[in-house]
C-alpha cells in the first residue's frame, strides 16, 4: 500500500518544460579535491587533467534529489575525507522533479545521456572501464545499472543503494541487475515502501532484513499521514546511503552472514544457519573469523565488499552512527 500512496502524492508534481529537454540537462561533475575535505566542482567535459587513472567513483542521485541532496553528500564527503581524487557526481535533478511515473519511464533516457558523457571521458583519458565504479541511490540505482548495460557490463562495479521499488518488476529491462557490471553489490533498507527486496546484484545485503522502519527510524501510518510521506520514509530509504558512507571510512564495520530470501522475507535469521553450513562454516568459526577480522572468511557490506562473494547476506546495525556493529556483530 505504501508506494501506491506515494505515487498518488507525487502525481501532482511536475515541470512546465518538455521532459526530453530536462533530460538533456543531465551532466556529470568532477570534484577537484581541495584542503580540509572540500572540493572544487568542474563540469566533466571541461576537465583537462586527472591525477590518477584509477578507481573512479560516479555517484548518482534519485527521484526529487540532486547532487547537493542529503542522499549524496555523505558519500561524496566520505570519499574526499579518505583523500579520494576521482569523485564524480551525476546530476539529473531537472528531470528528477517530474512526477514519479514519468521519472520512472525516463530511467533509460537519463542513463543514456549520462553514459555518453562518461564514455567520452573514458576515451579522452584512456581510462580502463574496470576502474569505474558507479554508485546510485533509489531511482539512481537503476540509472547506474542501465549505464552499466550501455557498457555491456564491462564497468568494474555498480553499487545499488536501496534500488527503487515502485513500478519496477523482476523483468524490467531498464533496471539494475547482476549483469550491470563485473561486480554488482546492493544494499536494501526500505521494503516495501520505496525500496525493492528483490535480489538485484552479484551480492545483496539486507541490514535489519531490509525492511522499512530501520533501527532509529520512526514508524508512520501512511494512510493517516500521506502529506508527510516522503519525509516519514526517507529515513529508511536513505539509511542505505549512510551505511555505505560509513563503510568507506570503516570498511570492517559491517560483517554479514550468508542467508537466503526466505530467511529475509520471514525476518527469521535462524533460517540463515542452513546457508552458513552449506558454505562450510559454523557459528563458532564465523564468530572467530569476525573477531580476527579474517578478510578471507568474513564478507563485509559496503566499500570493502568482496568481489568474489555472491548471494544474499544479513546483518544487524545500530540505530545511530556509527551504525556498524563491527566486532560486536551478533550471530545466531
Per-residue pLDDT tens for 93-112?
999 999 999 999 999 999 99
d(CA 22, CA 27): 11
pLDDT at residue 226, as a whole number: 47
pLDDT at 277: 85
pLDDT of residue 11: 45
CA–CA separation, 216 and 235 (whole Å): 9
Low-confidence stretches of the chain (pLDDT < 50) are: 1-15, 220-228, 232-233
The CA-atom distances, in angstroms, between 176 and each of 82, 130, 147, 202, 273 are 28, 18, 9, 11, 29
Amino acid 223: pLDDT:
37
Give me the pLDDT at residue 5, please. Answer: 42
Query: Can you give the residue ranges of every domain in the chain?
Result: 2-328
Give me the CATH topology for the region 2-328. Rossmann fold (3.40.50)
10 Å CB burial of residue 73 (0-12, 13-18, 19+) is middle
How far apart CA 20 and CA 62 sit, in angstroms, is 18
Question: pTM of the predicted model, to two decimals?
Answer: 0.92
Q: Is residue 266 classed as helix, strand or coil in its secondary structure?
A: coil
Q: Are 189 and 182 in contact (CB under 8 A)?
A: no
Query: Could you list the active site residues?
Result: 138, 162, 237
pLDDT number for residue 6: 46
Amino acid at each position: 500500500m505504501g508506494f501506491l500512496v506515494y505515487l498518488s502524492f507525487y502525481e501532482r508534481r511536475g515541470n512546465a518544460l518538455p521532459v526530453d529537454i530536462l533530460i538533456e540537462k543531465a551532466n556529470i561533475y568532477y570534484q577537484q579535491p581541495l584542503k580540509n575535505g572540500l572540493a572544487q566542482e568542474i563540469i566533466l567535459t571541461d576537465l583537462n587533467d586527472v591525477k590518477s587513472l584509477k578507481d573512479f567513483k560516479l555517484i548518482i542521485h534519485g527521484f526529487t534529489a540532486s547532487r547537493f541532496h542529503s542522499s549524496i553528500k555523505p558519500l561524496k564527503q566520505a570519499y574526499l575525507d579518505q583523500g579520494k581524487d576521482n569523485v564524480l557526481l551525476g546530476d539529473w535533478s531537472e528531470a528528477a522533479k517530474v512526477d514519479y511515473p514519468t521519472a520512472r519511464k525516463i530511467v533509460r533516457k537519463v542513463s543514456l545521456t549520462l553514459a555518453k558523457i562518461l564514455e567520452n571521458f573514458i576515451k579522452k583519458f584512456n581510462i580502463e572501464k574496470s576502474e569505474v565504479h558507479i554508485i546510485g541511490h533509489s531511482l539512481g540505482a537503476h540509472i547506474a545499472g542501465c549505464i552499466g548495460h550501455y557498457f555491456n557490463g564491462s564497468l568494474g562495479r555498480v553499487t545499488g543503494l536501496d534500488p527503487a521499488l515502485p513500478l519496477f518488476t523482476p523483468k524490467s529491462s531498464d533496471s539494475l541487475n547482476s549483469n550491470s557490471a563485473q561486480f554488482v553489490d546492493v544494499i536494501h533498507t526500505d521494503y516495501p515502501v520505496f525500496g525493492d527486496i528483490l535480489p538485484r546484484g552479484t551480492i545483496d545485503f539486507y541490514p535489519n532484513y531490509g525492511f522499512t522502519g530501520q533501527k532509529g527510524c520512526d514508524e508512520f501510518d501512511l494512510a493517516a499521514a500521506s502529506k508527510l510521506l516522503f519525509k516519514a520514509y526517507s529515513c529508511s530509504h536513505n539509511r542505505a546511503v549512510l551505511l555505505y558512507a560509513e563503510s568507506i571510512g570503516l570498511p570492517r564495520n559491517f560483517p554479514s552472514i550468508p542467508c537466503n530470501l526466505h530467511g529475509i522475507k520471514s525476518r527469521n535469521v535462524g533460517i540463515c544457519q542452513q546457508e552458513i553450513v552449506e558454505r562450510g562454516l559454523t557459528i563458532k568459526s564465523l564468530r572467530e573469523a569476525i573477531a580476527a577480522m579474517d578478510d578471507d572468511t568474513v564478507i563485509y557490506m559496503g566499500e570493502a565488499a568482496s568481489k568474489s562473494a555472491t548471494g544474499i547476506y544479513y546483518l544487524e546495525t545500530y540505530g545511530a552512527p556509527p551504525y556498524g556493529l563491527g566486532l560486536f556483530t551478533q550471530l545466531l
